[in-house]
Amino acid sequence: MSSDPSNSRDGSLDQAVSNCPAYDRYELPDGATGALCFDVLRKAGLAPASIGSPINPIASCEPFIGRAFTVKGVADDTISADESLLEWTRMLSAAPRHSVFVLQPGDHARAYMGELSAHALTHRQVAASVVDGPCRDTDQIRALGFPVYCSGVTPRDVVAAWRPAVFGGAVTIGGSIITCDDLVIGDSDGLCVTNRRNYNQLVAGLEDALVSENLVREAILQGIDPHTAYVRYRKF
């Protein structure tokens, strides 16, 4: 993760797309969770960021991982309804396959994710959406099963009131700085963020941690004292 957003190269949509023409697909080992990812990264000294309440998933979801595609927006009371929707849909069309769409809208006045947008991102094989603001159409999004993280709900939309402004730059979400070089890992517990160069180390650590965690779980289910189980496996 970038420690200084001023060091990022904020750019236009065209620049963002040309800089990131395609995203690799990242996967987690079976059984890995967001919490375990955080534990492994912390133990390795990689200083992961964690994002939890008030930015919450609108529904339970399976663990996912993807590279961030960041967008920063601004309120604009001069933009027309048509222009605002042209900008919104163009933004959705730019989200790379396998990415996690990360939006810092700049306020909490409107819904920045809804049913049609969730369908569009799902069709583009985007892994999830993270919005530091409200969303709407939550029942429909839950039924779709697309992971959406947001800070609340409102029926108000972005029409004639907001536009995306910066693509591919550093954004602050829930107090954590996220760039397009970061991986976003999520599940029902919240989000974990780390630089994508840490991926191989994360996967190797997860494979070891899953073995140890399973041994501790089996020991506890067999009635072994939790302290004894920890001393034996050094995992809890």
pLDDT at 219: 77
Instruction: Tell me the average pLDDT across 103-117.
Output: 98
pLDDT at 20: 52
Q: Which two tokens stand for residue 174?
A: 């829930």
Decide which of 195 and 15 is more confident.
195
Dihedral sign, CA of 183, 125, 137, 163?
positive
Task: Say whether pLDDT at 16 is over 50.
Answer: yes
pLDDT at 13: 62
Q: Which two tokens stand for residue 124?
A: 């583009």
- Of 228, 226, 202, nearest to 43 by C-alpha is 202
pTM across the whole model: 0.87
Residue 73 to residues 35, 110, 161, 232: CA-CA distances in angstroms?
30, 12, 11, 51
Task: Say whether pLDDT at 56 is over 80.
Answer: yes
Domain residue extents for the chain: 5-197
- HEC secondary structure over 88-117: HHHHHHHCCCCEEEEEECCCCCCCCCCHHH
Instruction: Tell me the average pLDDT across 137-164.
Output: 98
- The span from the first CA to the last CA of the chain, in angstroms, equals 27
Report the top-level CATH class of 5-197. alpha beta
pLDDT class of 233 with cuts at 50, 70, 90: confident
Q: Which two tokens stand for residue 23?
A: 């995203």
Residue 183 to residues 78, 83, 127, 168, 223: CA-CA distances in angstroms?
35, 32, 11, 14, 38
Instruction: Tell me the average pLDDT across 157-164.
Output: 97
